[in-house]
Amino acid sequence: MFILDETSPLVNSMRVNAANIYWNNLYTSACTLGSPFPGATYRNIGYPNLDSLIYWEGNLLASIFGVNPAILIINDWQSPNAFAYWGVTDPRFYGTIYLGIRLLYDELFSMDKGVLAVVGIMAHEFAHILQWKYQSQLIGKYRELHADFLAGYYLGVKNYILYRDLCAFASSLFTKGDYNFWNPDHHGTPQQRVAAMNMGYGLGKSGSEINKAYLKGDEIIRGF
């Protein structure tokens, strides 16, 4: 069970400090960090429904993925994003996930995305924590596509999520794909990201355990 950082809600203090602006300009599409986020972090957002979603979904993700990262909220108004950091920012947890307030709002209130897109993004970041736990050798787009695969797996494990429901997360992934093949931060094409998620979803529906899904995803993604 994770406990959010004990600071004030973000929406009650919509300030943007210099560290946040610098960080967002530097990491406009990065998904993993080599050091802790340098700006202010928050315990919650101040929007009860979204705070509740993050809390309960985070606990379920922790139980299924077998990792226990801290989840912190950051001010990302300049550039919507979410990050995973493998280092310890709190001795009670393994790794840290940073969720941007603007990213969460953009996904939640989008006509073609919504709650499932937020859940998928959280699962993607939890997958990065799991990759560090298992010392994944994947790099670049393969590491990102593997995280997409495991996010899909998580949605498949949730039995009430039907295939037709995946459109919300598929739309989110598709818009975040890119064709910057020579960019070290390339996350995979829109088509690849959706395909990886769909394959993971199918494996989740089959009842595969997380450790087997992790290895199967690694094998599949290497072929992309």
Q: Distance between CA atoms of 83 and 89, rounded to whole angstroms?
A: 14
Q: How far apart are CA 147 and CA 197, in angstroms?
A: 8
- 195 vs 217: CA distance, rounded Å: 12
Output the average pLDDT for the chain.
Answer: 84
Nearest to 28 by CA among 185, 194, 177: 185
Q: Is 219 a residue whose pLDDT tops 90?
A: yes
* Stated pTM of the model: 0.84
pLDDT of residue 182: 67
Question: Per-residue confidence at 180, pLDDT binned at 50, 70, 90?
Answer: confident
Q: Angle, to 10 degrees, between the axis of helix 190-205 and the axis of helix 140-157?
A: 40
The listed range with the strongest mean pLDDT (2-6, 14-18, 26-30, 179-183) is 179-183
pLDDT in tens, 82-105: 999 988 778 889 999 999 999 999
The residue ranges of every structural domain in the chain are: 18-221
User: Residue 24 pLDDT > 60, yes or no?
Assistant: no
